[in-house]
Amino acid sequence: MALDRAWSLVAAVVVMLPLGAGAELYVCTTARGRTLTGDSPPPDCGDSVIRVLNADGSTKRVIEPPLTLDQKKARELEERRRHEREMLAQEQMRRDRALLETYATEDEIQASRDRTLADRQVLIERANQQLKEYKVDRKRLDDEVEFYSKRQMPDKLKRALDDNVALQAHQLSAIADIRAEMQRLNEHYDAELKRFRELVMRGATPAQRKNDP
């Protein structure tokens, strides 16, 4: 309130000053409360807001003080965050548009999920079948090992045993990877379905519906 009264007094004084047409008056209040004026920015106003007044006392423009190092860092950080928010918003818009252009109904999303998971299940069944064959081979190799219970086992048989262990481990790892991928796919489709519902509830229209009667 006191500062506003000070500016009002300055403006009143300006009206009484013999300023020429187009003349400007630079006014600031320092941190210690001193009000300084001049026909150019007062040297002691470097850290204060400077108002540039017209001859009639109205404010023509405001000159903000230079930012401190901390203020510059804060502004740069906020600018980066703003840019990141804009990029995320644009990416979300792109994904939403793709979602609405891909599916017309929730049933289509579920159908796509079922087809995708079915393909992965086929891979698991194939891997399990291959694993069974490796276990049959292992039984044959174990029987052969018994033949050499009192004799040195041939290197070829040792390698066959090692290979069989590696092949079974590979198939088990492949099955685990496919199941993990199926879990990720389920989570993906859950998220797609949830977002699709949100967009439709907000009034969005899937592309395939635009030409529907």
- Domain range summary for the chain, segments of one domain joined by +: 2-63, 103-209
* Tokens 């109205």 sit on residue: 58
pLDDT at 11: 45
Could you tell me which residues come within 8 angstroms of residue 106 by beta carbon, excluding any fewer than 6 positions away?
Answer: 193, 196, 197
Residue 145 has pLDDT above 70, yes or no: yes
Q: How far is CA 2 from CA 5, 33, 45, 61, 196, in A?
A: 5, 10, 19, 21, 57
Overall size of the chain counted in residues:
213
Q: Which of 44, 80, 82, 79 is nearest to 65 (CA)?
A: 44
Which pLDDT score is estimated for 3?
Answer: 44
What pTM did the predictor assign? 0.62
Residue 98 has pLDDT above 50, yes or no: yes
Model confidence band, residue 2 (pLDDT cutoffs 50, 70, 90): very low
Cα(45)–Cα(67) distance, integer angstroms: 14
pLDDT score for 68? 81
| Average pLDDT value for residue range 146-167 | 91
Percentage with pLDDT > 70 across the chain:
86
- Within 8 A by CB and 6+ apart from 195, the residues are 95, 96, 99
What average pLDDT does the chain have? 86
pLDDT of residue 70: 86
What is the pLDDT, as a whole number, of residue 47? Answer: 81
Of the pLDDT bands very low, low, confident and very high (cuts 50, 70, 90), residue 42 is confident
Structure tokens at 194: 């949830």
Mean pLDDT of 97-105: 94
d(CA 58, CA 186): 66
